[in-house]
Amino acid sequence: MGKFISFEGGEGSGKSTQWQRLAQALEARGLPVLATREPGGTPAGAAIRRLLLTPEGTALDPLAELLLYAADRAHHVQQVLLPALQEGKWVLCDRYQDSTTVYQGLVRGIPADRIQALAQWTTEGLQPHLTFLLDLPPEIGLQRSKSRLAAEKSGEDRFEQEAIEFHQKVRAGFLKLAQQEPKRFVILDATQDMTTLHQKILQRVEAFS
């Protein structure tokens, strides 16, 4: 079995930046790497991603939102994550189940027992070995996110449009999960510069391998 590492955190916290830099660093060492993301890590998932992250999904019912994430993840686990891990790859995933536990569970308010039951069903219990939580005040994250979305002319701003209270709950939710599973989570102060964060992540991955 390969190693499974996920990146979690609120909008604009630097997940994709660090995920990409870690992938490059491991590849440079000649390790087999699969870098993927949720939602949208498969062609079918890309269609689900559009619905979830663009204004096309405006006013999605919370239960429908949860089930769309679950559909994307079930497909991704079966078609991408499990095969890659079986081939012994280093699988790096930009968001995974913890995002659903936080956004659809703790923040949207779907009861934890339902979220847990569905998680078991969609992931078959597949958990990351290591999860980096990029923790950042949401005001800073949203500012970063806005600049990136504008620069890339991306319309994936459905969550960015939520009120600041929503993003504060997201931050608190991730910290709560991390405290519940201190062995799996590494909490990083995401106000640090990109290179410092990358070095800390790499050190932690090297200690782990």
Ligand X SMILES: Nc1ncnc2c1ncn2[C@@H]1O[C@H](COP(=O)(O)OP(=O)(O)OP(=O)(O)O)[C@@H](O)[C@H]1O
Binding site for ligand X (CB under 6 A): 9, 11-17, 144-145, 147-148, 192-194, 197
Residue number with CB closer to ligand X (12 or 105): 12
Retrieve residue 15's tokens: 């997940």
Residue of minimal CB distance from Mg ion?
A: 16
Which of Mg ion, ligand X, none has residue 144 at its interface (CB below 5 to 8 Å by kind)? Answer: ligand X
- Residue 197 binds which entry of Mg ion, ligand X, none, CB below 5-8 Å type-dependent: ligand X
Site track 58-97 with Mg ion (rule: CB under 5 A), x = hit: ----------------------------------------
Least spacing, CB of residue 183 vs Mg ion, in Å: 25
Listed ranges 10-18, 108-116, 140-148, 160-168: which one lies at the site for Mg ion (CB under 5 A): 10-18
List C-alpha distances in Å: 118 to 37, 105, 114, 121, 163. Answer: 19, 11, 6, 5, 27
Contacting residues for 150 by C-beta, under 8 A, at least 6 apart = none
Residues paired with 147 in a beta bridge: none
CB of 13 to ligand X, least distance (A): 4
In the complex, what is the shortest distance from the CB of residue 16 to ligand X, in angstroms, rounded to a whole number? 3
- The half-sphere exposure of 92 on its side-chain side, counting CA atoms within 13 A, is 23
User: Do 69 and 61 contact (CB within 8 A), yes or no?
Assistant: no
Contact with Mg ion (CB under 5 A) among 16, 78, 79, 192: 16
- Least distance to ligand X from the beta carbon of 117, Å? 27
Work out whether 192 is an interface residue with Mg ion (CB under 5 A): no
Fill in the amino acid letter for 84: A
Nearest CA to 149 out of 163, 159, 136, 164 is that of 159
Are 24 and 202 spatial neighbours (Cβ–Cβ below 8 Å)? no
- Which of 85, 190 has the CB closer to ligand X? 190
CB-nearer residue toward Mg ion: 99 or 101: 99
Residue 75 near residue 45, CB atoms below 8 Å: yes
Instruction: Answer yes or no: are the C-beta atoms of 32 and 91 closer than 8 Å.
Output: no
Binding site for Mg ion (CB under 5 A): 15-16
